[in-house]
Amino acid sequence: MGFFNSATQSIPSITEIPKHIAVIMDGNGRWARKRFLPRIAGHKRGVEAVRDLVKYCVSLKVEYLTLFAFSSENWRRPNEEVSFLMGLFMDALKREVSKLHQNNIKLILIGDRSRFDSALIAQIEESVQLTANNTGLTLTIAANYGGRWDILQAVNQMQLASPHLVGLYEEAHLTPYLSMSYAPEPDLFIRTGGEKRISNFLLWQLAYTELYFTDTLWPDFNETAFNLAIESYQKRERRFGRTSEQLAEHKR
Ligand code: IPE
Ligand code: IPE
Ligand code: MG
């Protein structure tokens, strides 16, 4: 596992195309409701939007794409919707993994798997294993993921690994145990569906990420919508605590 710079420990290098994009895919239910369809129809269409987004990211040579598929709080939804989402997740894995593999995409799952049924856990393990040595886009799916859960599980692992350090922990002790220790911190965060919140997604990792919110509902998030997000990112000035004048100085 590689170790990456932390935006708070040193200033990360910036590229025109974000190296890591993290997405909250929101608005499936509302997309369906607008069409007088059941919410699950929106989730189905949402999978197609995922397939397309992966393509755009591959063509732009984005290195890491991280998608929030199911939050630790989504268990609060009606049982039928939760079961449908689990089934959809299982089917999508089965159906798509060979295509991901052919395209040299590495699939990683983050989140607490312990609440999934054993068939789904087996399918996840098989899919991750198959693509483990691929060197193209790293596609991370956050499923039963919560930012607080992530920080707490990392603290627990860290403490088990170095109990003698109690009271002396630094960032570098903790970050190797965070779920996304294999990736640089996200450059760009996109949330579709109009809400302006993080909903317990990557709390630690988003410290200096550029945030982009769009009213576009997830199933409608097409190439044009994606390009708007990238263009918005390219107009941002990422200062990481410094002044604009310092940045100008730096460029000269
Ligand atoms: C996002 O769409 C998908 C998941 C959370 C699984 P929603 O289902 O939250 O759609 P809205 O927000 O109700 O429209
Ligand atoms: C966030 O969407 C989680 C996912 C997209 C998986 P939600 O629709 O669950 O978020 P809230 O409940 O509106 O904050
Ligand atoms: Mg929602």
The pLDDT tens digits of the residues spanning 33-46 come to: 999 999 999 999 99
The span from the CA of 50 to the CA of 54, in Å, is 6
Give the domain range for residue 109: 20-251
CB proximity list for 116: less than 8 A, separation 6 or greater = 86, 124, 143, 144
- pTM beyond 0.95: the answer is yes
* pLDDT per residue as tens digits for the range 108-139: 999 999 999 999 999 999 999 999 999 999 99
Residue 127 lies inside a defined structural domain of this protein:
yes
Output the pLDDT for position 206: 98
The angle, 0 to 180 degrees and rounded to 10, between the axes of the packed helices 79-102 and 118-131 is 20
Residue ranges lining ligand 1, Cβ < 6 Å = 25-30, 70, 74, 85, 193, 218
From 5, 28, 74, 156, the catalytic residue? 74
| Helix, strand, or coil (residue 227) | helix
Residue of 74, 148, 217 with the most ligand 2 atoms within 8 Å of its CB, for mutation: 74
The angle, 0 to 180 degrees and rounded to 10, between the axes of the packed helices 79-102 and 39-60 is 30
Closest listed ligand to the CA of 219: 1
Q: What CATH number is associated with residue 199?
A: 3.40.1180.10
Domain total for the chain?
1
Query: What's the order of all strands across the beta sheet hosting 210-213?
Result: 106-110, 138-145, 64-71, 20-24, 188-191, 210-213
Beta-carbon count within 10 A of 89 CB: 21
Is pLDDT of 64 > 60? yes
Residue 53 lies inside a defined structural domain of this protein:
yes
Residue 6 lies inside a defined structural domain of this protein:
no
Output the pLDDT for position 159: 93
Q: What is the arithmetic mean of pLDDT over 89-112?
A: 98
- Residue 3 banded pLDDT, cuts 50, 70, 90: low
Residue 198 lies inside a defined structural domain of this protein:
yes
Output the pLDDT for position 250: 79
112 is known as an active-site residue? no
Closest listed ligand to the CA of 71: 2
Residue 48 lies inside a defined structural domain of this protein:
yes
Is pLDDT of 2 > 50? no
Residue of 23, 24, 28 with the most ligand 1 atoms within 8 Å of its CB, for mutation: 28
Average pLDDT, the chain: 96
The span from the CA of 224 to the CA of 200, in Å, is 28
26 is known as an active-site residue? yes
